[in-house]
Structure 1
Amino acid sequence: MGDVLLRPWDRQDIERDVVLDGLVAAAADPLIALWSPLKAGDRAEAASWLKHRLDAWERGSVASFAVVDAADGTLLGNVAVRWVDRADGLAMTGYWMLPEARGRNVATRAARAVTRWAFRTADARRIEIAHATGNEGSCRVAHRSGYLPEGILRESFRFGDGRYHDEHLHARLATDPEPPELADGPRD
């Protein structure tokens, strides 16, 4: 991914103040607070969120990756694959990015990378992205990552504003072609 690296979260992250502070900053970001379930008001909550992610990886239910700056390791975001039905190869992916990662196609590159990983390494057959219809940035990421629109899930998820929102449903199959290379133009 060039200037950006995806790496699994690890137990050492729980002790890294720079990681915990990055998670607290992410949870305080208005867009992340609205559209993401991340709750990390302080370092202790950030450490608890990380522990939950690590435990889920060990159980085989979620694979979460830190999205970091390749040069200095600064946290830029998170991307994850959550198994809906592992035996059937059905998963969902989700992501959030800090403001400094936005406008650089970091979310799209991360979504593409985790999708390739899930298809090639984790035996996913179908991966879905569901996002609030008002979350235009996430919709761009889904499209640019090769996820085809499939419909609208009505009032399907309660978001950070406490309201249920309709969601767009996008999906990719392991047999779908890779999306075209990113070119100049709109960014996520």
Structure 2
Amino acid sequence: MPSLVTPVLPSGRLNASAQPALPIDGDLLLRPWLASDAAAVARVFEDPTIQHWHLRKADSEDEARAWIEQWRRGWESETACHWAVADVGDDRVLGRVSLQSIIMVGGQAEISYWTTPESRGKGVCSRAVARVARWALEEVGFHRLELGHSTANVASCRIAEKTGFALEGIRRRALLHTDGWHDMYLHARLHEV
């Protein structure tokens, strides 16, 4: 069935080349995930704060390694882009930023993120989210990026505000966490024409 619209992002726009590494201010690097990052991912998902705001946990390094493989396949299928936020000096994993639920026709994606406990409050997350948003909207040509988080997650709201994601509304009782249903804020950034 022929489409009535021209896709914002034509097939192959992402996976025609290798997933890029994106430098940030000389001290951080957004890079594709490596199988060797599994121990760092498993350790982060032991953190009670991560477990509070996320819907899954890693029970082992093998499970974390399987996640990483899934994250890497997202680039190949043009359904997601996942980056490790790494320290340039020692390549230590400080966090993760991803574009998920990519819709190529509309040029849309959802941005998500986390940081390691020791990286919080140092600007790592906001800098990484801002860099991925700039790459997606200005370099690749995405039309719209959405950012959703629980209305109780004050830290995520600060990240959204710092990185230019405008609050658009509340999705009531939209996500089930371990402590029950959460209302979710919906923020978005659009490509500036």
Is this a same-fold pair by TM over 0.5?
yes
Matching residue within 11, 21, 27 for 1:3: 27
Give 5+ residue unaligned stretches, structure 1.
Answer: 177-188
CA distance in 2, matches of 1:22, 1:38: 16
Alignment of 1:39-50 (within 5 A): 39-50=57-68
8 Å CA contact 2:106, 2:143 repeated in 1: yes
RMSD: 1.4
Relative to 1, partners in 2 of residues 1:63 and 1:168: Cα closer, same or farther, differing over 3 Å? same
Once the two structures are superposed, residues 76-123 of structure 1 have per-residue CA deviations (whole angstroms, 9 ceiling, x without a partner) of 110001134221111110000001110111110000000011112332
Greater Rg over alpha carbons, structure: 2
8 Å CA contact 1:128, 1:171 repeated in 2: yes
CA distance in 2, matches of 1:81, 1:121: 14
2:190 paired residue number: 173
Matching residue within 122, 138, 141 for 2:159: 141
Partner amino acid for 2:188? A
1:150 paired residue number: 168
Alignment of 1:1-188 (within 5 A): 1=24, 2-9=26-33, 13-14=34-35, 16=36, 19-159=37-177, 161=178, 163-175=180-192
Relative to 1, partners in 2 of residues 1:86 and 1:37: Cα closer, same or farther, differing over 3 Å? farther
CA distance in 2, matches of 1:93, 1:30: 22
Name the TM-score, length of structure 1 as normaliser: 0.85
CA distance in 2, matches of 1:88, 1:49: 27
Partner amino acid for 2:174? S
Partner amino acid for 1:80? S
Aligned-residue identity in percent: 36
Number of aligned residue pairs: give it.
169
Aligned-pair CA distance for 1:52: 0.9
* More displaced 10-residue stretch of structure 1: 30-39 or 57-66: 30-39
Relative to 1, partners in 2 of residues 1:101 and 1:38: Cα closer, same or farther, differing over 3 Å? farther
Partner amino acid for 2:29? L
Q: Which runs of 4+ in 1 moved over 3 A?
A: none
Give 5+ residue unaligned stretches, structure 2.
Answer: 1-23
Partner amino acid for 1:51? E
Name the TM-score, length of structure 2 as normaliser: 0.83
